[in-house]
Chain A
Amino acid sequence: MSLPDLKTDLGFVTLENPVMSASGTFGYGLELADFCPPEALGAVVPKGISLKPWPGNPLPRAAETAGGLLNAIGLENMGVERFLSEALPPLKARGARVGVNILGKTAEEYAELCRRLTDAPVDFIELNISCPNLHGGGGLSFGADPAAAGRLVALSREAAGKVPLVAKLPPLVSDIALLAKICEDNGCRALSLINSVPALAIDHRSGRPLLGNVTGGLSGPPVKPLALRQVFAAASAVKIPVIGLGGISTAADALEFFLAGAAAVQVGSATLADPRAPLSILEGVRDFLRERGENLEDYKKLALTAGKGRLP
């Protein structure tokens, strides 16, 4: 068989392939271009941005735990103005599809960011309502409260004009299906999940936490089964596409997310170990499908459904 068709229709955009970079692990999209050209991926999601530049959390900001990574960067970023003038144009000039991850302390800040991005050449906005490392509101404080999430999405929807919205959801909520549905009902065109899992690491000798922020977010292979379950639950609850992420470090991992109901995937922590990871995962998916003689859409038909998968 010739090369399999990997086209991925998200309803509001058709991607050449289903593999994206996850926010916070791919810089502003060009830093790793020698290892992984941004235009080779389905889309890139640069580092999350806020209205004004943020300095982030104190050092140490990351630590390795068994098989994975704990981080509390704290959304250090250049702010939306510099992003629009410096980071976005060269990325678009290369032909990359770009989803912009945004966050603020209040729902109004999210809406204001959407307003700034309305006329920018971006393919979607990813509302980060799931970062576990913010203090004084923002991030997870919205994702953890379905009513607050609904209001934030509705306000952002109004402000964003034609730009499609994707809500990035947290892993640990009392009912992921309910949160997913509320985001859909308030105007999201897709969901992405999971963000990192709130977690803690302590040095038993010093008695100190390993992170300057004390707690952080766990990512990497240890969170993959948790992510698969939440993607399955969310995809079973909504009609809009779900972008799956959480511990994807091999092509097999990505394929499992398609079977859990994901339309596309994002690669995060694996890129920090090996910057070629998104590309090698994409190549692995392509090789796998070529051997089976299937296109991606054929393979996705094997996905578990809520009935088959017996979701509680």
Chain B
Amino acid sequence: MSAPVIAETRLSAARVLSAGTVLIRLERPENFPDPFPGQFAKLKILSAAPNLPPGLCGAGFLDRPFSFHAQTADELSFLIREAGAVSGLFKSLSPGAKIRITGPLGRAEDSLIKGRDPLILVAGGAGLAPMGMIRRENFPRVLLLYGEKTGEAQADEGYLDSLAPDRISLTEDGSGRGGKGLPTEALSRALEALTTPALVFACGPPGLLRECARLCAERPRAKCLISAETFLACGLGVCLSCSFSARDGSRRRLCVDGPVFPAELLNF
């Protein structure tokens, strides 16, 4: 794995996927290492007010961590859900906006790079973010189980088609496409029907992750990986903001030992 780099780059395009969610594409800095599935970068909007001191520039004091969503030779993309004042700034950026990127950060999870088993992606809301990094040609079968609270928050079909043609979309209140329900209910049914081992990769709110871990623990054929989240400051392993005790008794830093962990390592 390559060491992370810090570079200044520009926004090439921003596409609003739904209320509160934007897919941004950045010009790929020269010599930027290939990010692997599960890895993330820290982003900072520099053009909000570039001449003000850090902390006063309107883009927050710390750079914000986001999972890589996809990469090409020329671009890096991130799916960003508005969760606060800073993440909310991204949707109103124009092409050319200056952004600082620090990455790739985190550990590359080997089993998300190439696998023989069917891969079930479970995404709740912003949990779609890392799913675009999965290379479908490397997996025999990919099923996406995608849940949102409301139809308004659902990503558009065109985008979802490009992400995973084989999918189940659900909304908690039944106001969107695909009917009412939770992605974990769909996971339970999918696991019931399993005849072979499978890999489950989940990202989303804590309740969803807990339930995915529980369902997979009941079925030895399903290995569950979780893209975990907590507030992190440096992203480089020095501040210990994200350090926790894993179930095996070891200390883990989410930023450098994760953010993707086998579900059995996490205490829910």
Binding site for B on A (CB under 8 A): 24-27, 31-32, 34-35, 47, 55-56, 59-64, 67-69, 71, 73, 76, 210, 220-222, 249-250, 252-253, 269-276
Contacts and interface: CB of A to CB of B under 8 A. Distances in A.
A87 to B, nearest CB: 12
Range class of the B interface residue count: 20 to 34
Interface in B48-101: 53-56, 60-63, 100
A71 B62 CA distance: 13
15 contacts: A25-B234, A26-B238, A27-B238, A35-B6, A61-B231, A62-B231, A73-B240, A73-B241, A220-B55, A221-B53, A249-B53, A252-B53, A272-B239, A275-B102, A275-B238
B236 interface: yes
The binding surface of chain A is classed by DSSP as: loop
A64 B61 contact: yes
- By CB atoms of chain A within 10 A, which of B233, B237, B245 has the most? B233
Given A274-B6, A276-B6, A56 B238 contact: no
Nearest to A75: B240
Contact of B251 (A27, A32, A76): A76
A273 B239 contact: no
A26 B6 CA distance: 17
B233 A62 contact: yes
B245 A76 contact: no
Given A35-B6, A63-B231, A220-B61, A71 B239 contact: yes
A69 B54 CA distance: 12
B242 interface: yes
Contact of A67 (B55, B237, B238): B55
B44 A273 contact: yes
Contacts of A271: 234, 238
B243 interface: yes
B232 interface: yes
Contact of B54 (A26, A27, A249, A276): A249
A113 B64 CA distance: 37
A62 B236 contact: no
A228 to B, nearest CB: 14
B3 interface: yes
A199 B236 CA distance: 25
Given A69-B62, A274-B6, A59 B244 contact: yes
A69 B243 CA distance: 17
Given A55-B245, A67-B56, A273-B62, A61 B240 contact: yes
Interface in B235-265: 236-245, 251
A86 to B, nearest CB: 15
Most buried by A among B56, B231, B237: B231
Contacts of A73: 239-241, 243
B244 A274 contact: no
Contact of B61 (A25, A27, A47, A221): A221
Nearest to A29: B238
B55 A249 contact: yes
Contact of B55 (A61, A68, A275): A68
Contacts of B6: 35, 274-276
